[in-house]
Homo-oligomer: A and B are copies of this chain.
């Protein structure tokens, strides 16, 4: 049974790293003891792992970093929990592909029920594909298909249009609409402070802020904190 916590942003404005999602993270990893951290979205893997390790220690959890594992396949096979951090989604997915661990992480989460937490790029990569990332394509993965732990897409750091803006670049909503000109896959925009919690066939948006759900040919709808989105898993 899958047990996921897909967080929009690691840090909300005015709070510390993972503060806003610490209670949910602790609950998600209860009984795991240690989690396997995947730092590939950032360039400085050592620094990133150290930052995550210190934060997880305050939650009473140990943390091993995948990039220091002698055998990454063995590390994935033995992981009791996964935490994939944010950064650049293309770099993250490409590195997982290059290591050949995409299928193994998917199986561990879907078949073995290993808890998975992602923030930002780490949430994006958990979904059907990374077609709805906000990031620059600084590297080019072999495919944009991702871990597929849920059958829809996310847009982390979802931003509502700013009516006072003079910027003429596309709004986030316009970009997601462009995705729907090409694909018929729902996209759940998660505002900063929001998370998607998935337990088997149950899913809900939780946190301080909600989400906005986009489907092809339909008006966007609000998803308030606490609201179920089980239907997205059907």
Contacts and interface: CB of A to CB of B under 8 A. Distances in A.
A179 B135 CA distance: 10
23 contacts: A9-B169, A12-B168, A13-B167, A14-B166, A43-B178, A87-B178, A90-B137, A91-B178, A120-B169, A130-B137, A131-B137, A137-B144, A138-B178, A138-B181, A138-B183, A140-B143, A140-B144, A157-B167, A157-B168, A157-B169, A159-B169, A167-B192, A169-B192
A167 B9 CA distance: 10
Given A90-B137, A135-B175, A156-B169, 13 more contacts: A12-B168, A133-B137, A134-B169, A136-B176, A136-B178, A137-B137, A137-B144, A138-B175, A138-B181, A140-B144, A157-B168, A157-B169, A159-B167
A136 B140 contact: no
